[in-house]
Amino acid sequence: MQVYLSRTRENSIEFEPEELSISVPPGGEERTDLLFTNYSSPTHVQLSVSDELREYIQFSHEYPQVQREKVVTLTARLTAGTAMRTGQIFITTGYGANKASLTVTLKIRELKEPAPSVAPEQHADYYAAEAPVEVQEEEVTLIAKQPLFTIPFTLPEINIAPILYRLIAPVAVLLLILFAVSKLFTSVPQFQFYVAVGISIVIFTLLAFGFTKL
């Protein structure tokens, strides 16, 4: 609510809007701000109400001083069961030089009735909740993880069979020959010693030769 002081002439009073309607909850209160704007030198304002609203309206300041702007809070109260009230608010300036009135209507605020509750069996969502839920199967594709690093070379393949054949076959033949010769000269102990040494030398030589071919 806007109240203009001395806007058109000295100590003039204007309201915007020209009437005020306040909706009050049953048994509660409602607050409204009155914004005073003064276009002249600082002045004192007196606020009062008519007998119809005296018990229902109070002001935060009844004699405010308005320099440039001033806000006065109006508090309206209606007890439960009270009918609508209409009266006047009087504003006086210039120590009684000018007085104006504002029509104010207090009415009970209508409370909205809560919507009627709906039984579960009458609610559409009730049947939707009972409906079976179809679960869709999703295909899962497994992706093998790639190795973090690879070795840039490979070990050579070695065919051991020919090497073993070349080692074992000559050794076996020589052993058979030396064994046969040693049987012929079993009566000579020195000869058996030399045969054993010879066998050792032959085996060592063949092994060394075989390893050089790997």
Q: Give pLDDT tens digits for 26-54.
A: 888 899 999 999 999 999 999 999 999 99
* Bigger pLDDT: 71 vs 156: 71
Where does a domain end: 108, 142, 173? Answer: 108
Residue where a domain terminates, one of 85, 108, 131: 108
Boundary residue ending a domain (108, 140, 173)? 108
CATH of the domain at 44: 2.60.40.10
Number of domains composing the chain: 2
Residue 131 has pLDDT above 60, yes or no: no
Domain residue limits at 49: 2-108
97 and 165 in a single domain? The answer is no
Strand order in the sheet with 19-24: 19-24, 98-108, 85-93, 43-49, 65-66
pTM summary value: 0.50
